[in-house]
Structure 1
Amino acid sequence: MKKIGLISDTHGKLSVRVTRFFEGVDEIWHAGDIGTAELADKLMVLKPLRAVYGNIDGHVLRRMFPENLRFFCEEVDVMMTHIGGYPGRYESRIRKEVYSNPPQLFISGHSHILKVIHDKKINTLHINPGAAGNSGFHNVCTAVRFIIDGKNIKDLEVLEFERTKF
């Protein structure tokens, strides 16, 4: 069993509310737009980090992390990318892989909008954790945590707080 903390779009800033929310997790996953190598380093000190780079991430973060990441957590096949779209509107650069070899869990960021959607067509759970940082058009910062237990994804919880109270 693994407890996962999932964030995206931190843009170099992370609230203490998020770090407190992630205190009991085993791993932190970041779906891109990390913002700074310093923030990535801070996350790696907290917990093991799996991350992809996003469109605002510079060359240092692009050397540290891949654009796409596919891995198993327990018995769950996970695919993570920053700009990935969502069920029915997957990004063209990953659409073929998603449909030809569907992951059980597809994670993306970029939109700054929290989404949890079951894609019935390919039996995939899509999670976009929204934006945990203080930059962008969003008014609410969000982060997600959940448990992967064998083949099961369960106990999803959402942290939500006003951006102005960062």
Structure 2
Amino acid sequence: MRIAVLSDTHGLLRPQVLQTVQGAEHILHAGDVGDIRILDALREIAPVTAIRGNVDTRGACALLPATEVIELGGTLIYMLHSIADLDIKPEAAQVGVVIFGHSHQPEIRERNGVIYLNPGSCGPRRFSLPIAMAWLNIDKGQATAELLDLAI
């Protein structure tokens, strides 16, 4: 299963992102959506699971959940916007992947058998951080992640 992972669009859905996520079987958005029309456009490509971030305080984005748990491809995924707000012990809850955003800094790390994935920001550039997203691949319940610098 090939899953596109986005975060921190802040109201900007770049054409390069729309092109890149073509073929995704599911799209995860880790908050700071900024405009509900972004999720509507992504839903035309694949099913979308999204959470709210700290800028999603008005309109339909404010109604998104703060956290989400979803099982895709036999892997349990926990989503939250800021990793500082992690309120579970993922390995105890049998979570295979924790997806977060907020920092705009893309990263993948593994701890205690859990993948922690921040896809970075694919919205407006912040400082000198890259415009980035990630792919989460799940095969027979085993997850792997890869970051994608959109070099914009």
TM-score normalized by the length of structure 1: 0.82
Name stretches of at least 5 consecutive residues in structure 2 with no aligned partner: none
CA distance in 1 between partners of 2:32 and 2:127 (Å): 14
| Aligned match of 1:62 | 62
| Aligned match of 1:137 | 127
Amino acid at match of 1:124: V
- Aligned alpha-carbon RMSD (Å): 1.8
| Aligned match of 2:18 | 19
Give the structure with the larger strand fraction: 1
CA distance in 2 between partners of 1:80 and 1:155 (Å): 15
Aligned length: 151
CA distance in 1 between partners of 2:8 and 2:120 (Å): 7
Which whole-Å deviations, capped at 9, do the CAs of 1:60-99 have from their partners, x for residues lacking one? 2121x21000121121111001012xxxxxx2x4244436
How do residues 1-166 of structure 1 correspond to structure 2 at under 5 angstroms?
2-59=1-58, 60-63=60-63, 65-84=64-83, 91=84, 93-98=85-90, 100-119=92-111, 122-154=112-144, 156-162=146-152
Amino acid at match of 1:24: G
CA distance in 2 between partners of 1:123 and 1:155 (Å): 13
Name stretches of at least 5 consecutive residues in structure 1 with no aligned partner: 85-90
Q: How far apart are 1:137 and its partner, in Å?
A: 2.8
Amino acid at match of 2:4: G
Which whole-Å deviations, capped at 9, do the CAs of 1:96-148 have from their partners, x for residues lacking one? 443642511000000000000011xx310000000000153344200111321
| Aligned match of 1:88 | none
Give the structure with the larger helix fraction: 1
CA distance in 2 between partners of 1:136 and 1:97 (Å): 30
TM-score normalized by the length of structure 2: 0.89
